[in-house]
Structure formats: structure tokens, C-alpha cells
A = this chain, B = another copy of it.
């Protein structure tokens, strides 16, 4: 079993309203100098066969039309 992490984020150019909201909120809390905020999803899983993870991302974990993903294992 290997522990794998999948990081999923909105594709470049795709509207990311959550990222915008966080970027707006941070200065109000006194955190300056923050930019390019994006909010995505994190999926953690134990897999027997890590070679399958990319296919899982394409089919289920991410929506390839609007999201990019990155696999950390």
C-alpha cells in the first residue's frame, strides 16, 4: 500500500471564485502581499498500484475539462 496525494486545482484561465474570495479576505485580516490564490481539492488515498492513480484522476477524482491535477506519492 502506498499513500498517494492528488492535488486538484482549477485550470489556468478557468474562473476560480473561491480563490478570489480568499484573496480579498486576507488583507482585511492584516495579511498583505498575497496574490494568485487558488482553491482546489486534495484527495488522499492508499493504493496498491500507484500506476492506476492517473486513470482515477481522469475518470473520477478530477474533471479534466476544468481542472488540472498533480499526483504526489
**A8 CB → nearest B CB, Å:** 7
Chain B residue nearest in CB terms to A47:
B34
Cα(A68)–Cα(B50), bound, Å: 25
Copies of this chain, complex-wide, total 2
**Category for how many chain A residues contact B:** 35 or more
Contacts of A48 on B, CB cut-off 8 Å?
A: 32-34
Please state if A9 and B56 are interface contacts (CB–CB under 8 Å): no
Please state if A41 and B43 are interface contacts (CB–CB under 8 Å): no
Contacts of A5 on B, CB cut-off 8 Å?
A: 7
From B35, B44, B52, B55, give the contact of A45 (CB < 8 A): B35
Cα(A3)–Cα(B7), bound, Å: 15
